[in-house]
Chain A
Amino acid sequence: MTASAPSAVVVLTAAGQVLLVVLVLAAAHRPLGDHVARTLTSPRHLAVERAGYRLMRVDPDAEQRWSTYLLSLLGFSLASVVVLYALARLQSALPLSLGTAPFDPAGAWNTAVSFATNTNWQWYSGEQAAGHLLQMAGLTVQNFVSAAVGVAVMAALARGFARSGTDARVGNFWADLVRTTVRVLLPLAAVLALVLVAGGVVQNLLPHEAVTTLAGGTQEVLGGPVASQEAIKQLGTNGGGFFNANSAHPLENPTPWTNALQVVAMLLLPFALPRTFAVMVGDRRQGWAILATMSTLWLASVALLTWAELSGAGAVGRAAGAAMEGKEVRFGEAASALFAASTTMTSTGAVNAMHDSLTAPGGGVAMVGMLLGEVAPGGVGSGVYGLVVLAVVAVFLAGLMVGRTPEYLGKKLGREEITLVALVVLTMPAVVLVGTALSVVSGPGLAGLQEHGPHGLSEVLYAFASAGNNNGSAFAGLSSGTPYYDTLLGLAMLVGRFVPIALVLALAGRLASARRVPAGAGTLPTHSPLFVGLLVAVTLVVVGLTFVPALSLGPVVESLS
């Protein structure tokens, strides 16, 4: 295939693949969304859950005020970070370590934060640095619970909108956490893991073994509990691969159909949760609007990325004659583009191709996908609460234009609400821009760059966009395993995750104590196509505009060169 004229067959295959994914998602989103909503609102506890509560010594029926909810969440996450840090530092002394060395302090901090924040940024190479115990007891466990934390925050926000005039009680964190894990994530992951094993993904506790091949050379045969981690890696929008090559590795993602399945898996919950949110706030139409906004942006990203990769524009494409460099032959450009768009739009961050090798516009689209704040569809739970925050901004901007005090989902938006929302919107750009700016002018920052010029800037911007938005995918060109980047990116992940969570929970508490206002003909309809268009525009303009100068010096220059 030569430059800029993909054949009709290629385009049709690409479109067919997307259509297939969309059909599966469309079929699943209602039953799954309803199931999650039932999980979060059911008054009953399962026996296994009760055992968990007794173990943690918590009362799952006690309604928590938002501040208690937040403290529980932070306490849990802090404990997660500490446990992960200890596992990484002490792994050589623990069983199943496969002889791996302990992580250095900065690296352990980075990895601990990375997995506790649902980012799963990996500075290390999984097969070389992490033993099976760390992978199973540390990373895989966090893959479950960090995703459940996102769902918990979304549930609290939904309760904030649904409740009227309470004293800021937004549910019980422990119940939300445990139930989401037990009733949603574990069953889904178990099924998916079995299917992946059937597809050829490894699942054992064997060490990586060097064997002598027929030709006389040596080759490393890798083993490990891969499928079990792979399943939740995608379902929980985590993205941390068992191996360094992530979903490009044949033992993680062997065939085109496991590849398609992985794309479906990472999109499954993010696209189902708008339904959950809508059911919980008691207005299904609102869920459709959120879903439509997410779908529009995701489809746009898929289309742009596919176009970019297929037409092979940009420096890389021209040099190679096509954009296959850095991509897996068994997937091809279209499947790589679909995966890249989905992984950056969902905060998953798994990769099946090296994003550094995406065409310049393709890499730019992937970067913009993250810089929009991971809301379309975003991470598990975090996508919905992120987009609801933007919806509040949209309602406030445009809501005044219908001549009423803006209200969203029956709650009036005043100074306090807007302050909280504005701070959420501020946090991510601050983290990304300040981190990137520091790194491109400081010695240790520049030391990590593989290339200079616009592509070098893209690499750093991508890294901070990925960390600040808890995505975790990497442009790969950046050598980030240095104390400088480990520390700074760890900070970016921490701030990018928990500052918005704290603000969103504060918002939930405030909304829960506010009175619900009935909607009438004078209320701005937030379920119409017009509002969806507005929300798309606000997402692009309010969030996107901040990054235009930085993007113009990186991917834009690259694309135009």
Chain B
Amino acid sequence: MSTSTPVRPSSPVTARPVAGAPTVLSVRQLAAALPDALRGLDPRRLRRTPVLLVVEVGAAFTTVLAAIEPDAFAWSITAWLWLTVLCATLAEAVAEGRGKAQAASLRATQRETTALRVVAPPDTLEHTTGLAALPTQEVPSSTLRPGDVVVVRAGRTIPGDGDVVEGVASVDESAITGESAPVIRESGGDRCAVTGGTVVLSDEVVVRITAEPGRTFVDRMIALVEGSQRQRTPNEVALDVLLTSLTIVFLLAVVTLQPFAVYSGAPQRLVVLVALLVCLIPTTIGALLSAIGIAGMDRLVRRNVLATSGRAVEAAGDVDVLLLDKTGTITFGNRRASELVAAAGVPVERLADAAQLSSMADETPEGRSVLVLVKERFGLRERPEGELVGSTLVPFSARTRMSGVDLDGVDPRRVRKGAAAAVTHWVRSTGGHAGDDVAATVDAIAATGGTPLVVAEQVGDRPARVLGVVHLKDVVKDGLRDRFDALRAMGIRTVMVTGDNRVTAEAIGREAGVDEVLAEATPEDKLALIRREQAGGRLVAMCGDGTNDAPALAQADVGVAMSSGTSAAKEAGNMVDLDSDPTKLIEVVEIGKQLLITRGALTTFSIANDVAKYFAILPAMFAVAFPPLRVLDVMHLGSPESAVLSAVVFNALVIVALLPLALRGVRYRPASASALLRRNLLLYGVGGLVAPFVGIKLVDLLVTALGVLS
């Protein structure tokens, strides 16, 4: 990480709620999805969801029954059973439809272009210099194969995914990332990867193609947002097994009910039995299950994260350990001046003035941060150019490790600022000496992980004296501590990884509130840490961008590669963040959890619904033969027919009613497992018990008032 400097400043971390995607479900959206929903009625497509297949077979069966013995009741039930299946296919179609628009705009980037392919023997193409000068040939971009080398000039579209092997250019990647600011892509570093369909704005680069046509990044992205390659995730499959077995149990209960009813002298119409079956089997979650999965992926894509599989998204919810790089993730990229400590007997204003003077020639980010500090803290504006006429700027150099200024004129003055040892040495060379208090300050700052810069001045020919110390430190991004606390509540440990020494690393770790610190870390250390955690049965997530991150990314259960990184890193990870924002990892975890919670909540809701449906349908079926059973009709429904129909109508409508929730995901706040369980059980378990009583009663009132069945 630390080797790359994103062109865009990484956004400050804000704890934005996960449910931020536009989710209002419009009638237009539903209408647009209708053709797809109708196509979804094909039994071959429903085979994957046995619950829905049972409903469809039931609907077909009642159609035959209604045709043989037609009456308003049979036809109403038949119509609503078909509508139930349609609601289910509609849910999936709507979820898929949301990805279609995104796919269309991505396809636009795939226009057929031509490329300037370098014509040279293969071993020549292995070189990394002089390629631009070789002869080229204009070929269609679709003919490019991995290993081909192309030259891309300013204003041309990069013909395929690859790595820059020569040159540096600014590239417009807005087609992929939606971000208009251009980014720098250059050979040899961690910023060498380019994506097909993006445009070179200036300069010229030589790119080695790494992806087959049709298997590029954009192709994968299109497939992903369209859901065409969606494979069911492990949890989804397991849930499906459970739903199928519940369907079989209720199928048994309903099929064996007729013999009981015959024995009891109250044989039932088959239409009623089918209606009971459809009401009991978990249609709600069965209908919404795939929509939840597609919508979860969609939420990820909307945050510009591209996952190679749904499995990875689900794994994100299970993560136990987050490996976060210090630089760029926990702290801003560079150290900043945070405090001025004046030496004994020196007014702090004088120190500020000297610090400002000495930083005028310091173009490093640290130097600029000193100017910002004195301006903010002491109101010292930058000096106009004229004031410094006749002075000599002494720029910072790695050799002297000092910067400063020599002011000539009536009152000659030399000001220096730099590493403690260098400045002390300079002070001694003029015959002066640094006070003990300064040495103490320097040590104290170093002990907390900060970097002390000593400021000294020499007036005239007198010995120089130390004015004080500038405290440079890593500045931790706002809001991270809260976020880490939330993660801890969810049972996720955060480990900060940094190349800094232990003292510095632990100071920053404490300030940011991480659980653990891996200091002086090499890529091998990182890999070893991941393996160690995994050996203990924990799932690890990390993000990275460099080639040397690739093994760790591949080893991690969730590896988020930065889009700005190398192709190797992108290949190794199972997600790519197009914004190259390392803090995105936290959001990915939240989306993964929200996905699982939504599934669990709707399953619980669906099963809890059955209780009320029994109270509606059983008295309707048997109260004629056994009048005492009328006491079970707690909802006082209009008539037996309207009771059965109301339950079926409610069962269908609840799918549509819950679709927005399925698409948006249930509200998620980081909390402990106990708190989450309590809240969700109350909401979806108890809610699932109560809601249908109200819903069925309302539908019944409507059915009775409209006189549908009379």
Q: Which residues of A contact B (CB under 8 A)?
A: 393, 396-406, 410, 413-415, 417-419, 422-423, 425-426, 429-430, 433-434, 436-438, 440-441, 446, 453-454, 456-457, 515-518, 520-525, 528, 530-531, 534, 537, 541-542, 545-550, 552-553, 556-557, 560-561
Contact = CB atoms under 8 A, between A and B. Distances in A.
Interface string B249-262: 11011111101111
B618 A549 contact: yes
Contacts of B673: 402, 404, 521-525
Given A440-B260, A457-B263, A546-B250, A530 B677 contact: yes
Contact of B537 (A433, A518, A522, A548): A518
B238 A414 contact: yes
B249 A457 contact: no
B600 to A, nearest CB: 3
Nearest to B684: A401
Contacts of B235: 400, 405-406
Given A402-B677, A552-B632, A433 B242 contact: no
B26 interface: no
B433 interface: no
Given A398-B677, A419-B241, A437-B260, 19 more contacts: A397-B604, A398-B681, A400-B601, A401-B600, A401-B681, A402-B676, A404-B593, A405-B234, A405-B317, A418-B241, A426-B248, A436-B260, A437-B255, A438-B259, A515-B537, A520-B491, A546-B253, A549-B276, A549-B618
Contacts of B537: 410, 515-518
12 contacts: A403-B594, A413-B238, A415-B237, A434-B252, A522-B492, A523-B491, A530-B677, A545-B280, A545-B611, A549-B253, A553-B622, A560-B628
A531 B237 CA distance: 24
Contact of A402 (B259, B597, B629): B597
B193 interface: no
A446 B260 CA distance: 12
Contacts, number: 208
Interface string B486-514: 00111111000000000000000000000
B618 A548 contact: yes
Contact of B678 (A397, A522, A530): A530
B51 to A, nearest CB: 14
Contacts of A393: 242
Contacts of A537: 685
A65 B493 CA distance: 37
Given A429-B252, A530-B677, A534-B681, A414 B234 contact: yes
B632 A549 contact: no
B631 interface: yes
Contact of B676 (A403, A410, A440): A403
B210 interface: no
Contacts of A400: 235, 239, 596-597, 599-601, 603
Contacts of B491: 520-523
Interface string B209-249: 00000000000000000000000001101110110111011
Taking each of B245, B314, B536, which has the highest tally of chain A beta carbons within 10 Å of its own beta carbon? Answer: B245
Q: Is the interface of A mostly helix, strand, loop or mixed?
A: helix
B406 to A, nearest CB: 60
A366 to B, nearest CB: 19
A114 B632 CA distance: 37
Contacts of A557: 622, 626, 628-629
Given A437-B260, A516-B537, A528 B248 contact: no
B492 A401 contact: no
A529 to B, nearest CB: 10
B105 interface: no
Interface string B587-605: 0000011101101110110
Contact of A401 (B266, B597, B607, B628): B597
B359 interface: no
Given A429-B253, A546-B253, A549-B254, A561 B314 contact: no
Nearest to B234: A414
B242 A545 contact: no
B701 to A, nearest CB: 25
B639 interface: no
Query: Which 10 residue pairs are nearest across A and B when measured between Cβ atoms?
Result: A522-B491, A400-B600, A403-B593, A422-B245, A560-B628, A521-B491, A520-B491, A401-B600, A437-B256, A440-B263
Contacts of B262: 440-441
Interface in B662-710: 668, 672-674, 676-678, 680-681, 684-685
Contact of B253 (A517, A522, A547): A547
Interface in B574-623: 592-594, 596-597, 599-601, 603-604, 607-608, 610-611, 614, 618, 622
Contacts of B597: 400-403
Contacts of A515: 537
B318 interface: yes
B320 interface: yes
B538 interface: yes
B256 A550 contact: yes
A311 B668 CA distance: 49
B14 interface: no
B246 to A, nearest CB: 8
A434 B618 CA distance: 20
B257 A549 contact: yes
B596 A426 contact: no
A550 B618 CA distance: 10
Given A429-B249, A523-B673, A548-B614, A405 B314 contact: yes
A440 B260 CA distance: 7
Nearest to B594: A403
B260 A401 contact: no
